Amino acid sequence: MARKKIIAGNWKMNMTPSQAVALVNTLKPLVVNEDVDVVFCVPAIDIIPAMEAAKGTNIQIGAENMYFEEKGAYTGEISPAMLTDVGVKYVIIGHSERREYFAETDATVNKKVLKAFEHGITPIICCGETLTQREQGITIDFVRQQIKIAFLGVTAQQAATAVIAYEPIWAIGTGKVATTEQAEEVCKAIRDCICEIYDEATAETIRIQYGGSVSVSSAPELFAQPDIDGGLVGGASLKPDFGAIVNYNK
């Protein structure tokens, strides 16, 4: 069975709640494509107003982060139950910016992934190498390690529902998109890794996105690759461009 594409916007630290409502209203007529699951991952404070604005559309609102404890003395954090209480079904876990600026590690990513599954939230699990690692020729080894740790203790049944976002760090926000061959090579290696950890069926079901300077012009070729099931889109998700990216196949 063909995997349904999933194209997610990652708004990062952009858009106040009122701007979020305006952006959802602008984008909602543009992101209609029944071949694609469309997710807007937005800042926590924007989740509720964005959901209100997206009511009755095909847009699902996701979160950009979540903590791995249930509740308690963790000032500033958002719990899984806070997300599910308002109907959030997707959460980005382990984005490279969280790893770089907020000290997230493969181990904390794993804890968050397990917690998301426990609460029925689909994690969009990010991985990807630095430019130095690519130049050293260790991209695939490095990404395989990130994936193996992220999925420790995750069952095959859970893993099949996960989303992985392969985002080479050197391509994020730089306008320097990976070539189609580079993106497909790593996404295929990730699928092979999932097959090794679990089995063929899980590997064939899990969805793997490419992220890093996805644009209207690069999306069609990237998303046509056999192992690329959509994208995680930063900058271009804040613009009407996102409508054309979601409709890459039209």
In the complex, least distance from residue 209 CB atom to ligand PGA, rounded to whole angstroms:
9
Question: Which of 43, 123, 235, 243 is the binder for ligand PGA (CB under 6 A)?
Answer: 235
CA distance 23 to 232: 18
Find the part of the chain contacting ligand PGA (CB under 6 A) among 104-112, 135-143, 151-159, 205-213: 205-213
Quick check: 212 binds ligand PGA (CB under 6 A)?
A: yes
Min CB(27)–ligand PGA separation in Å: 15
CB 50, min distance to ligand PGA, A: 17
Identity of the residue, 133 or 202, whose beta carbon is nearer to ligand PGA in the bound complex: 133
Is 10 a binding residue for ligand PGA by CB under 6 A? The answer is yes
The stretch among 13-21, 109-117, 135-143, 234-242 that binds ligand PGA (CB under 6 A) is 234-242
- The answer to whether residue 211 forms part of the interface with ligand PGA (CB under 6 A) is yes
Taking the complex as a whole, the smallest distance from the CB of residue 235 to ligand PGA amounts, in Å, to: 4
Beta carbon nearer to ligand PGA, 49 or 235: 235
Nearest to 93 by CA among 72, 76, 75, 117: 117
Closest approach of ligand PGA to the CB of residue 232, in Å: 4
Residue 15's Cβ-count burial label (10 Å; 0-12, 13-18, 19+) is buried
- Considering the rule CB under 6 A, would residue 173 count as an interface residue with ligand PGA? yes
CA distance 28 to 68: 32
Stretch that binds ligand PGA, among 15-23, 149-157, 230-238, 241-249 (CB under 6 A): 230-238
Give dist(CA 248, CA 26) in Å, integer.
18
DSSP 44-106: GGGHHHHHHHHTTSSEEEEES---SSSSSS-TT---HHHHHHTT--EEEES-HHHHHHS---H
Q: Which is nearer to ligand PGA, 54 or 236 (CB)?
A: 236
Q: Which two tokens stand for residue 228?
A: 């690329």
In angstroms, what CA-CA distances link 247 with 6, 17, 228?
Answer: 12, 26, 15
- Residue 26 exposed, middle or buried by CB count within 10 Å (0-12, 13-18, 19+): middle
Which of 234, 241, 243, 247 binds ligand PGA (CB under 6 A)? It is 234
Question: Nearest distance from residue 90's CB to ligand PGA, in Å?
Answer: 13
Catalytic residue positions?
A: 95, 167
Residue 65 lies near ligand PGA (rule: CB under 6 A):
no
Contact 109, 94 (CB under 8 A): yes
Beta bridge partners of 8: 39, 232
Phi, psi of 55 (to 5 degrees): -55, 135
172 binds ligand PGA (CB under 6 A): yes
Using CB under 6 A, list all residues that contact ligand PGA. Answer: 10, 167, 172-173, 211-214, 232-236
